[in-house]
Structures are given as C-alpha cells and as structure tokens.
Amino acid sequence: MFRMICLFMLAMAMSLPTAWADGQARYIHLEPAFVLNYGSTGRMKYLRTEVALLVRSPEAASQVSRHRPYIRNNLVMLMSAQEPDIMNTAEGRESLRQVALDEVRALMLVLEGNEYVDELYFNNFVVQN
C-alpha cells in the first residue's frame, strides 16, 4: 500500500508542469497576517489584513522573498499611518493598495535594481474603529 501511494505521488509530481515554464504568476504571501493599529487621534483603531505579492519569475520570487522582513516593515509603517477615511471606504482601500504596491516596487528598485513585483493584493481587510 505504501509503495502504491509513493508511486502515485511520483506520477502526479512528474505530470505537473515545470515551475515557471507555464508563464503563470506566482504569489508570495507575507505571513503572518498584518495586525496593527492605525489613525492619529481618538481611540485605538485596528487593522488585520493579509497581503500577497504577484511575481512572474523565479528570480523575482527569490529576491522578493529575501527582502520579506524589510517589505513587511515598510508596509506596517505605511498602513499604521492611515486615517479611518482611507481604511473604511472601498476607494480608500484601493488607493492604499496602489500606494503599498508603489512602496514595495520602489523598495525593490533601490535594493535590487528591479521592481520585481507586478501586483499587491489584500486577501482580506478587517478594520475595527
């Protein structure tokens, strides 16, 4: 039985396309989820969000993964500086997403000479005011 399972898994692995050869994008999830407070006045406000970065090559995945702590730090600083009017509207969240993408691209350009990141997505976005 064990041998049969191993053979099945080997056959499945061999049938998968070679990584990156299919031209499809890969996602780098910045884990763990971001949990932070934001806003400058009034009572504490909290955000919990998960962020994924879209890359299109093994080199991009490697370089972005290598700088994951620095990327997380900059995103924490960016998101914690936001005000409720940004965090509580769809338009504000989309604006924040674009600014966060620009931040990550600029960071990678400085560190590696290439932006590497094609998109940034919020997998969820929960605020408590």
Comparing 15-24, 29-38, 106-115, 116-125, which segment has the lowest mean pLDDT?
Answer: 15-24
pLDDT score for 5: 41
SS3 33: strand
Residues 25-77 pLDDT 10s: 999 999 999 999 999 888 999 999 999 999 999 999 999 999 999 999 999 99
CATH code 3.40.50.720 for 25-128: no
125 φ, ψ to 5°?
-155, 100
CA distances from 45 to 38, 106, 110 (A): 6, 28, 32
- pTM confidence score: 0.81
pLDDT for 67-109, tens place per residue? 999 999 999 999 999 999 999 999 999 999 999 999 999 999 9
